[in-house]
Amino acid sequence: MRSDAELLDAWRGDDRAAGEELFTRYYPLLLRFFANKIAGDPTDLIQETFLGCVAGQERLRDGRSFRSYLFSIAYHKLRDHYRSQRIDGLRFDPSRQTAADLSPGPSTMMGENTQQQLLLHALRRIPLEHQIVLELFYWEGFTSSRIAELMEEPSPTIRTRLRRARQLLTTALEDSATDPRVLEETLTDLDGWAAKIRAAHANPAS
């Protein structure tokens, strides 16, 4: 099996079969990356990301995998996408705006169960750069220094952001359990309140 770096080189040399093989390897990961961050059709962004890899001049040095190169481009394409949109005339600010602010509407990604659904929902409600750091760390298995490299920021900044992101996610999750606005859009765990409602109904005096 040819390595990612070999396939990329071949694709840059106009070997389409190599390009297709590389595309097939990484398409699912990019689909997941974008599906959780924009509500619309991610086709264009995925295309631009792959084209960005082909157009790039960078050789994949030792220690830098194609995967982190790919995510670095995907991250920048996502930023460009939101910059050009200028939601509500505001400047794009991934340290404040969340995926839910930037791309309202139900996500195309659905959790397999209620718990998962709530968690994914909370994830879209923390600032975008915090969401991305968490996903790259926990879902893609990148180290914080690798994330720093691909987001082009200092390592300590990323480590601080990772810590902060965990706090924000915990808070967002707690909020989503009682916020009717959240519940409008997602499945909910009805355990707690169903019991309360039944109790209240049985004892109207209480």
Partner 1 sequence: MPEDDDDFDATVMPRAPSAEELAAEPEGRRIQAELKARLFGRPKDVVRIGRYPVDRKLGQGGMGTVYAATDPDDGRPVAIKVVRSDDGRAMRRLRREAKAMLKLEHPNIVAVHEVGEGPEGLFMVMDLVEGQTLGAWVEPGRPWSQIVALGIEAAEALGVAHGVGVVHRDVKPDNILVDLEGRAQLLDFGIAKPLPGSEDLSTFTEQLTRSGVTPGTLAYMAPEQLLGLPIGPAVDQFGLCVTLFEALHGAKPFEGHTIDAVALAIVQGDIISVPDVDRVPERVAQVVERGLAVEPEHRFDSMDALIQSLRAAAEHANSPSSSGEGG
The residues of the shown chain that bind partner 1, judged by CB under 8 A, are: 16, 19-20, 23, 27-29, 31-32, 35, 41-43, 46-47, 50-51, 106-112, 114, 116-117, 119-120, 123, 134-135, 137-139, 144, 159, 162-163, 166, 169-170, 173, 178-180, 183-191, 193-198, 200-201, 204
3-state SS assignment for residue 127 = strand
Cβ closest to partner 1, residue 83 vs residue 179:
179
Distance of CA 156 to the CA centre of its chain: 21
Cβ closest to partner 1, residue 13 vs residue 89:
13
3-state secondary structure 96-115: CCEHHHHCCCCCCCCCCCHH
Cβ closest to partner 1, residue 87 vs residue 183:
183
Cβ closest to partner 1, residue 79 vs residue 108:
108
| Closest by CA position to 45, among listed 36, 34, 37, 55 | 34
Cβ(199)–Cβ(152) under 8 Å? no
Question: Residue 91 Cβ, how far from partner 1 at the closest point, in Å?
Answer: 29
Question: Residue 15 Cβ, how far from partner 1 at the closest point, in Å?
Answer: 11
The sign one gets for the Cα dihedral 99, 105, 108, 113 is positive
Cβ closest to partner 1, residue 86 vs residue 163:
163
Question: Residue 127 Cβ, how far from partner 1 at the closest point, in Å?
Answer: 16
CA distance 172 to 76: 26
Question: Residue 196 Cβ, how far from partner 1 at the closest point, in Å?
Answer: 6
Sequence-distant contacts of 61-64: CB under 8 A, at least 24 apart: 64/149
